[in-house]
Structure 1
């Protein structure tokens, strides 16, 4: 064997070893895959064998529902899982999956437990806003107020404020919106105290936590998040698998509530799916993984898919089969689209282009 042959063999072996090692190295990507769908008009079996509806309402008349109204989900690589290049390439070649930068999904050093907790909080918030949107669409008045949504550990807010506290004032000035709270705190210097008037369990009180510099060393913060809170005139409970999280089922929850509380069936025996965040005013916002959710709904046999209008550019290339994909801007749009479809006029519906 010549020296040249030996050199080629050694070089080839080294290249194969390098490729094999490189293939096992983690890459900064995660994969989106079609997830399970859940019929929000269905009956669920409890641990003791009892059947209960996904949407349970107390304090208002309810009516029988017909058909399927599916929320859709997307499977995402767990925060504590690192992918290798071969896994990512296989996903990239699959039309129903998507490869996205890890940084667009998870924070640096975010754990799987932290991700699950955040996802559960988002789901809870989406259920709350879905209830409000549905009730308002049905003609109910739903009063709103500014509340503490989150208190962060290790900050001045911890021990002084609690999630659910109603913010009445900041430095004696009445508060009319969540944005006003942040704006007034930003006017201070880190280390200053701020006087926050709150209502907790019906009792009004004042707390005076200090501010501190944000982690980026910039504006002052106290360490809590605020949002709108609502006084619901009807008791609504949504029961769903704990494995499901995130904010994107809001619109479908609102439609399920609306259908349950209207005498004339909305879905009318058809099979409809969809996705979209929703605000208390019924505005439908964009979500992630639209292509995977459309593929999952199509595989499950849905006839009509309701998508946020701001997801249209991605929805057009999804694997929807024979399923019609219709963009909606708000809850009223979604209801109109379903009524148009069930009345036999699908050609009159807008489509994503």
Structure 2
């Protein structure tokens, strides 16, 4: 066999061996890639994403697309070949497994957490949108969770409205802990509540539940270090009663990052005219009840997904601007936003063709 042929054969065999080894060598990495992007003004799986009843709505045109990131599952074991391919690819990103699933989080735990964050983002989107439009929203402090084995188990339930603790009215979730910790462990505290079932029934009818009851709970000592403060074993949160029904129909999506786009979609449907002027706008960002836009993960994958779908503009949380600006897809214009009000103004300018002064994202932020 000629030496050149032998060398080529040996090299080929070595390459095959390395590829085979790479397939079997597992590495502690996961992959992120562009996920689906859905128009909040349109339909998904045959039904409108935003469904509003009990209030006049208006026709909309254009796109206000929420964006997502697709990630490998928690139990997926990536091999070396896949990792190298992902590092070289432009439309995917390889990150340490613990970045997506910290502290050994399982697939089930991650899915549950994402579902809870998605549900909360929907509520905040509704609240911020209605506040932007000057439509009153009633808010209530509620029992968010009850710790198993705690003094509150069986006495308080998730969804109970907390009206007062020891006769002092509760106006914010933090009030509950402050009032409980006035006690010493072992002392009794009295919660005045509206039971969750009665509150849910009233909310369904867009009315206010008035029937209350007092629940006496014996405090216990906290497990944290220090003096051992008094606790009852609950966490408090906020719930809302809306003057009409807003349903967000979007399955198989998790996390809080669609909040901004849901809020904008709700505003657009509840007001005459078109916010986008028929333009294709996508975006991302968490949102709180007061319309503050927060940063999200996977911004570079979301901009790629948006541009691939046809987006011309991308509403970008201020704190994601620097990262997004490092590698912006051709033909996509990043627009910096910090609040729902910022996004509304940007959309009005886009719709009217006043785009020269839109807030820009730069590598400095």
> Same-fold call, TM > 0.5?
yes
CA contact (8 A) 1:96 1:319 kept: no
Tell me, in whole angstroms, the C-alpha distance in 2 between the residues paired with 1:21 and 1:306.
Answer: 40
Corresponding residue of 1:10: none
- Deviation track 1:278-337 (CA, whole Å, cap 9, x = no partner) reads 111111111111111111101111011001111112111234221111111111110110
For residues 186-208 of structure 1, give each alpha carbon's deviation from its aligned partner in whole angstroms, at most 9, with x where no partner exists: 56666665443322223323241
Question: Which runs of 5 or more residues in structure 1 are unaligned?
Answer: 1-12, 47-51
Answering whether residue 317 of structure 2 is matched by residue 308 of structure 1, we say: yes
Deviates more, 1:275-284 or 1:87-96: 87-96
In the TM superposition, what are the counterparts of 1:175-186 in structure 2 within 5 Å?
A: 175-185=170-180
> Is 1:289 aligned to residue 298 of structure 2?
yes
Q: State how 1:330-345 maps to structure 2 within 5 Å.
A: 330-345=339-354
Q: 1:88 to 1:161 in 2, by over 3 A?
A: farther
Task: Tell me how far apart the structure 2 counterparts of residues 111 and 153 of structure 1 sit (CA, whole Å).
Answer: 21
Q: Is the 8 A contact 1:167 1:199 kept in 2?
A: yes
Query: In 2, are the aligned partners of 1:285 and 1:308 still within 8 Å (CA)?
Result: yes
CA apart distance, 1:96? 3.2
Match in the other structure for 2:141:
146
The corresponding residue for 2:38 is 38
TM-score w.r.t. the length of structure 1 is 0.84
Between the aligned partners of 1:252 and 1:152, the Cα distance in structure 2 is: 34
Which residue number in structure 1 is paired with residue 158 of structure 2?
Answer: 163
Deviation per CA, 1:57-101, whole angstroms, max 9, x where unpaired?
112110101012110001122222233444333323333333333
1:276 paired to 2:271 = no
Which among 183, 192, 197 is matched to residue 192 of structure 2? 197
Which stretch has the larger CA shift, 276-285 or 106-115?
Answer: 106-115
Supply the RMSD in Å over aligned alpha carbons.
2.7
The 5-angstrom pairing of residues 62-73 of structure 1 reads 62-73=57-68
5+ residue gaps, structure 2? 1-13, 199-208
Larger displacement relative to structure 2 (107-116 or 127-136) = 107-116
Moved more, 169-178 or 261-270: 169-178
Shift of 1:237: 0.8
Partner of 1:351: 360
2:263 aligned partner: 254
Q: Distance in 2 between matches of 1:210 and 1:103?
A: 37
Map 1:2-21 → 2, pairs under 5 A: 20=21
Question: For this pair of structures, how many residues does the alignment match?
Answer: 330
Structure 1 segment 191-270 matched on structure 2, within 5 A:
194-200=189-195, 201=198, 202=209, 203-204=211-212, 205-208=214-217, 210-211=219-220, 213-214=222-223, 222-240=232-250, 242-270=251-279
- Distance (whole Å) between structure 2 residues aligned to residue 92 and residue 192 of structure 1: 59
Aligned to 2:4: none
> Could you list the per-position Cα deviations for residues 117-139 of structure 1 after superposition, in whole angstroms to 9, with x for gaps in the alignment?
21111111111111111111111
Tell me if structure 1 keeps the 8 A contact 2:62–2:280: yes
Return the alpha-carbon distance in structure 2 between the equivalents of residues 69 and 255 of structure 1. 8
Shift of 1:269: 1.5
